[in-house]
A and B are shown apart, each in its own frame.
Chain A
């Protein structure tokens, strides 16, 4: 077990390092650089450009820059944002919370609704209810979250005016305490709802097919022949077994929780990491981008290990070795 974990940990470190180096090099090979933005648009002189480049160390070869970055990273320093002028770590930690709030809410709602619908629909496969739910699931499945986001903004925010169109708080109101929580919740409904709706079909379809699979298990007959109540067989046995593929799916989706909802964040102007990454790309804010990539790849790597551990607990047939 501990050997397995050590192996997985070392593989994860190597993967993260590889991803990091790739990103580090790629973004610098891409056209454009932060200096042009910093220097302004009125034709900066070569002298100005050279000074700025030297200031941020961009005059050195890529390899030297990489080593310098890694050296600082080992000391716990993720660098300073070229555009914000603040430590990258500080900016990211401000954005991490809102992103987690949005993505987790969306993911959990999708999981709960999708799985519940799966259980309802699998009771009578091919029945009217199953057909209706399956049809709606197909429609939702074909929609990108950001597009659905635009539609719900148009309808619920612009047309009906029930909910705010964008942002996480009403900045002018300056709420505190419970009023603040309520304010955030109000802003959360549309983006989290859009994310949840496009997430529902995956859980629905996986849960439904898995449920239909497990009811065919021979032990269902045994328990029925033994006089066991159908409900008990469902609750204790079938449900847990049917949930196994759902757990995997949920786990894999959670791994992309930080980066996965970027498009939705942008549509709703949600102050999360998605909007941060987008602006960092546009301004070629190298240190900010590297910081984001690092957090993203680390969270994916760690989460993959966690999912495997959870799966091994849920399914005794899985051995970690």
Chain B
């Protein structure tokens, strides 16, 4: 890509301090997000994908330690003073969270809570102004301003998630992070919400960072994908290229563990084994204990990302070879 990245992650490391040692949740992450880009980060639960996104926005618990560089608008977000960070949150980078059912307080009406969020970056604005701003966006997600006078418990999960999506756009941010934004929804609603995400990516020129364990969601909504496993990025590349020709054994396993419409009676294969203990320092490839292709070298030397095809990088000593 010739253009400058909007958000550029360099050697980002995130760990959680626990009484029994440091849990390495994300290691040596290098990623770029470009303008009007849609990057998906895919990986199983505990792979560190959410930690990575929340770490950049300094939204992690107090015991998290974030190091490295996350350059946005020429500023390194990591270690940015709280006050400066607050001015970037939502106005430049907003988030759509996973749990839509509890995304608002149960004791205030939705409209009032949106007004409170609106006032963070538009101090002194009236309720009418915030209502106006959100109503315009509610249309995009097929809702009306009727929801503003309602309480959280009067709305369905899908409606709440739509409100969250509309709310994420209220300040015209450059980047929207979708953190498992479709995971808690039923399949039909999920399909609708994915459609709305695609529409807003197109209409609002926002770049999106989509975090999910569901590679089919990435396939529908993203143009590039990064596959994460146990805190490491295994493979990055254009969505088509990664899904059709996965180079890393982990990606291959991940893709074959999802059913497709065309697969017929082909067996859905899982990946044997479970995530490694992230407290232990592993000298070699983190996936080696579960990898069908692992050899002695994999256990001793960590593979560095290498460009295997155009914009398609993979961190494996024996990528692609069968």
Contacts and interface: CB of A to CB of B under 8 A. Distances in A.
Interface of A: 217-219, 221-229, 232, 236-237, 240-241, 244, 314-317
A228 B123 CA distance: 11
A217 B105 contact: yes
Contact of A226 (B90, B108, B109, B153): B90
Contact of B105 (A219, A221, A227): A219
B125 interface: no
A241 B108 CA distance: 10
Interface stretch (B30-38, B92-100, B133-141, B220-228): B92-100
B151 interface: yes
Interface stretch (B114-122, B201-209, B259-267, B306-314): B114-122
B89 interface: yes
28 contacts: A218-B97, A218-B99, A218-B101, A218-B102, A218-B103, A219-B113, A221-B59, A221-B97, A222-B95, A222-B164, A223-B117, A225-B57, A225-B89, A225-B90, A225-B94, A226-B89, A226-B117, A227-B86, A227-B87, A227-B88, A227-B91, A227-B120, A228-B117, A241-B107, A316-B106, A316-B107, A317-B106, A317-B151
Interface string B77-88: 000000001111
Contact of A237 (B87, B101, B105, B151): B105
Interface of B: 57, 59, 85-91, 94-95, 97, 99, 101-109, 113, 116-117, 120-121, 151, 153, 164
Given A219-B104, A225-B59, A226-B89, 8 more contacts: A217-B105, A218-B101, A218-B102, A222-B95, A226-B90, A227-B87, A227-B120, A317-B153
Given A221-B59, A225-B59, A227-B86, A315 B106 contact: yes
Considering the complex of A and B, which 4 residue pairs feature the smallest CB-CB distances, nearest first? A227-B89, A227-B86, A218-B102, A226-B90
A315 B85 CA distance: 33
B105 A241 contact: yes
B87 A222 contact: no
A217 B109 CA distance: 16
Contacts of A218: 97, 99, 101-103
A228 B116 contact: yes
B60 to A, nearest CB: 10
Contact of A217 (B85, B86, B102): B102
Contacts of B107: 237, 240-241, 244, 314-316
Nearest to B88: A227
A226 B94 contact: yes
Contacts of A240: 107
Contacts of A317: 106, 151, 153
Contacts of B108: 237
Contacts of A221: 59, 95, 97
A250 B115 CA distance: 32
Contacts of B164: 222
A217 B97 CA distance: 12
Given A227-B91, A316-B151, A222 B103 contact: yes
Contacts of B88: 227
A236 B104 CA distance: 13
B89 A222 contact: no
B120 A228 contact: yes
Given A218-B97, A315-B107, A226 B120 contact: yes
A225 B54 CA distance: 9
A304 B128 CA distance: 39
B104 A222 contact: yes
Max chain B C-beta neighbours (<10 A), residue from A229, A232, A237, A240: A237
B81 to A, nearest CB: 13
Contacts of A314: 107
A240 B105 CA distance: 10
Nearest to A314: B107
Nearest to A317: B153
Nearest to B108: A237
A223 to B, nearest CB: 7
A258 to B, nearest CB: 31
A222 B97 contact: yes
User: Which residue, of A226, A228, A229, A317, has the highest number of chain B Cβ atoms within 10 A?
Assistant: A226
A36 to B, nearest CB: 59
B59 A227 contact: no
B89 to A, nearest CB: 4
Contacts of A228: 116-117, 120
Nearest to B58: A224
Most buried by A among B99, B105, B108: B105
A222 B179 CA distance: 12
Contacts of A236: 116
Contacts of B94: 225-226
Contacts of A229: 86, 120
Nearest to B164: A222
Considering residues B89, B104, B107, B116, which has the most beta carbons from chain A within 10 angstroms of its beta carbon?
Answer: B107
Contacts of A237: 105, 107-108
A241 B151 CA distance: 14
Contacts of B99: 218
Nearest to A236: B116
A232 B123 CA distance: 14
Contacts of B90: 225-227
